[in-house]
């Protein structure tokens, strides 16, 4: 056990912290729920792939020490913050306009827009960057192994947990979307989801106001 690059005593607390963070309502969760309910599991899992790629990008920035440099520049975090908020508002407006025409579970297989939107939304989420700068280093013991090795291991564990949680959201929301589609409240429900994305955008602006 002493030869492990990561301190064994920090693994459980780290995994628990990541699990709780991923369960906290946020941009990824709100977008995935609305998208999967309106367009089905295929679109939802494409968005999960984009979100995961965005998280992987920030993880590698942390591994190579670039994330900390970026986080130290207030103007960069400010640009990320407002770009992310505006992009979520755009997604909310798009969901509102497309609510009437949407058919849950029938998103075109060749439509890769959910992947790109998931990727962009996550790259423009300053909380993803701050996670790797503020939380990750606290679980790294430099005497065990190089920083990059521990960051890579812990970051990969975070990615796996996020995929499981996001995938669960997609499956549950897609199932709920199919039930709603058969009811007379389908249009209203989809517009409520669009409003939900807008609320998440406002929440993101509020939560990141001190960055």
What's the CA gap between 200 and 88, in Å, rounded?
A: 8
The 3-state DSSP class for residue 3 equals coil
What is the separation of C-alpha 131 from the centre of its chain, rounded to a whole number of angstroms?
Answer: 12
What's the CA gap between 31 and 193, in Å, rounded?
A: 9
Residue 138 DSSP code: G
From the number of C-beta atoms within 10 Å of its C-beta (0-12, 13-18, 19+), residue 38 rates as: buried
At residue 182 the predicted structure's pLDDT band, cuts being 50, 70 and 90, is low
pLDDT tens per residue across span 48-87: 999 999 999 998 888 887 777 776 677 877 887 888 888 8
Torsion of CA 59, 62, 67, 68, to 10 degrees: 150
- The domain limits of the chain are 26-207
pTM of the entire predicted model:
0.81
Residue 182 DSSP code: T
pLDDT tens per residue across span 112-162: 889 999 999 888 888 788 788 778 888 888 788 888 888 899 999 999 999
């Amino acid at each position: 056990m002493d030869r492990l690059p990561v301190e064994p005593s920090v693994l459980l607390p780290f995994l628990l912290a990541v699990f709780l963070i991923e369960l906290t309502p946020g941009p990824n969760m709100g977008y995935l729920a609305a998208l999967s309910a309106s367009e089905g599991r295929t679109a939802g899992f494409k968005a999960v792939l984009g979100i995961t790629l965005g998280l992987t990008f920030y993880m590698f920035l942390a591994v190579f020490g670039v994330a900390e440099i970026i986080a130290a520049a207030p103007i960069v975090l400010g640009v990320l913050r407002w770009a992310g908020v505006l992009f979520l508002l755009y997604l909310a407006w798009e969901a509102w306009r497309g609510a009437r025409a949407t058919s849950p579970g029938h998103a075109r297989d060749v439509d890769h827009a959910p992947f790109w939107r998931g990727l962009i939304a996550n790259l423009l989420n300053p909380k993803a960057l701050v996670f790797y700068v503020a939380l990750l280093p606290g679980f790294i013991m430099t005497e065990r192994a190089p920083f990059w090795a521990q960051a890579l291991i812990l970051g990969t564990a975070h990615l796996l947990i996020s995929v499981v949680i996001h995938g669960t959201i997609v499956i549950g929301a897609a199932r709920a979307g199919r039930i709603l589609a058969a009811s007379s409240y389908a249009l209203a429900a989809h517009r409520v989801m669009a409003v939900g994305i807008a609320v998440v955008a406002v929440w993101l602006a509020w939560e990141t106001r001190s960055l």
